[in-house]
Structure 1
Amino acid sequence: MRTVLGVWRWRRNPLRRRTDLFEAWVAFAALVCVLVVAPAIGCAAGLRVDGTLQRAAREQRQERYLVPAVVVRPTPDPVVGADADPAAQRQTPQRSKIVASWTAPDGSSHQGTVPAAEEPPRPGDRFRIWTDTHGRLVGQPLDPSAASVHAGLAGLAAAFGIAALGETVRRLVVRRLMHRRYMRLDRAWAAAGPDWGRAGAGS
């Protein structure tokens, strides 16, 4: 709102100072930054991030495979210390770990400890896990829709950042101008002050 009001300092006025006109130009530049530059940069940043994430998602889908696994046995429960907080354990429950076996896309057999897909895990249960071509455990590939959401958030963050930067610069310039105006007013008052109100001083 103050940025828009600053633009109105362009209006013709016999009392308008050069600093008023400069402040109006600064306000106009900040307004253009908020309405034009920030959205443009945000859109460009969002598209660039989206392209990068979509490419990463495609590569992950090509390199990661969902393979069947079989529960061999559950792992022993970890020993909980006596000083552990039961309330904290209830708020952050730990998933059971199991020993499972699976066959990799390249035909090699593997066995390792993985999080249980169901509770309680039973030997012989079948589930699926994500692995690479050689059977090493990997995370689930990035979903394209999730990548688009992240890209949109990155674009919004970039746009808001540029807009905030423009408004911050405008405020700093206006503060500097106000400081200069007060300094000039103080000098003018100091020059007129000794004769203020004295008879024959032209007042």
Structure 2
Amino acid sequence: MRAMAGMWRWRRNPLRRRTDRIEAWVALTAALLITLGAPSVGWLTGQAAHGALLETVRLQHAQRHLVWVTVDRLVSRTPLDPDPETSSERDAHRRVIARWTAYDGSLHTGRLASPRPVEPGERFRIWTDHGGRVMPRPMDVSTAGTHAVLAGLGAAAAAGGLIEGGRRLAVWRLRVRRYRRWDEEWERAGQDWGRAGAGS
């Protein structure tokens, strides 16, 4: 509030230059755009992203199906790896050859990663498309909402950054112009300005 009062008094100051007035208007415009424009951009982007992601959720749930697979055999186990950073031992217990019936009734056999250690004959569920190809789990509504919020926040931050970048560029151009005018005025004043007996 004190800054606003100072700006209000500054507008009547006789030392105020035209570039000062332009700089103040640029700052005010940028503040309004950041305060009102950036959240609006974020909200609109989030809404658009949420709509698109909900459509993706709907399509994925329509095109992917949970089916039961039966383990035929385990994939040959690799030797124990002493490095705790690798997961070869864990993966060796979870790689299996299994068979399943797709949503369209076709039979499939393939190598899969099981969600837990299993033995031959055990069953677990996987996601497949209509033709039986293994697919990732479909996106759920809460994940879509989270992604939409992140997209909105990112768009708002990007809009705010662009506005602030534009303000800084405009202020920099005004300063360059101001310094150029000062240089021109100093050249017009001459080298001996202010000396005694130089006619000033």
Greater mean deviation of Cα atoms: 6-15 or 30-39: 6-15
Quote the Cα distance in structure 1 between the aligned partners of 2:99 and 2:116. Answer: 16
The one-letter code of the counterpart of 2:25 is: W
Unpaired segments of 5 or more residues in structure 1?
Answer: none
Quote the Cα distance in structure 2 between the aligned partners of 1:162 and 1:142. Answer: 28
Q: C-alpha offsets along residues 83-111 of structure 1, whole Å, 9 cap, x if unaligned? A: x9935425996463101111112222211
Structure 1 vs Structure 2 CA RMSD: 2.9
Q: C-alpha offsets along residues 156-180 of structure 1, whole Å, 9 cap, x if unaligned? A: 1001001000000110111111111
Partners of 1:72 and 1:100 within 8 A in 2: yes
Quote the Cα distance in structure 1 between the aligned partners of 2:108 and 2:77. Answer: 23
Structure 2 counterpart of 1:61: 61
Structure 2 counterpart of 1:110: 108
Give the 3 Å change call, closer, same or farther, for CA 53–5 of structure 1 in structure 2. Answer: farther
Residues paired across the two proteins, number: 197
Alpha-carbon shift at residue 193 of structure 1 (Å): 4.4
Structure 2 counterpart of 1:89: 86
Match of 1:164 among 157, 161, 164: 161
Partners of 1:7 and 1:27 within 8 A in 2: no
Give the 3 Å change call, closer, same or farther, for CA 78–168 of structure 1 in structure 2. Answer: same
- TM-score by structure 2 length? 0.86
Give the 3 Å change call, closer, same or farther, for CA 199–7 of structure 1 in structure 2. Answer: closer
- TM-score by structure 1 length? 0.85
Query: Among the aligned pairs, what percent are the same residue?
Result: 46
Q: Matched residue of 1:89: which SS?
A: coil
Structure 1 counterpart of 2:70: 70
Q: Matched residue of 2:191: which SS?
A: helix
Quote the Cα distance in structure 2 between the aligned partners of 1:125 and 1:145. Answer: 32
Quote the Cα distance in structure 1 between the aligned partners of 2:75 and 2:15. Answer: 84
The one-letter code of the counterpart of 2:144 is: A
Q: C-alpha offsets along residues 48-72 of structure 1, whole Å, 9 cap, x if unaligned? A: 0110000010111111111111111
Structure 2 counterpart of 1:149: 146
Unpaired segments of 5 or more residues in structure 2?
Answer: none
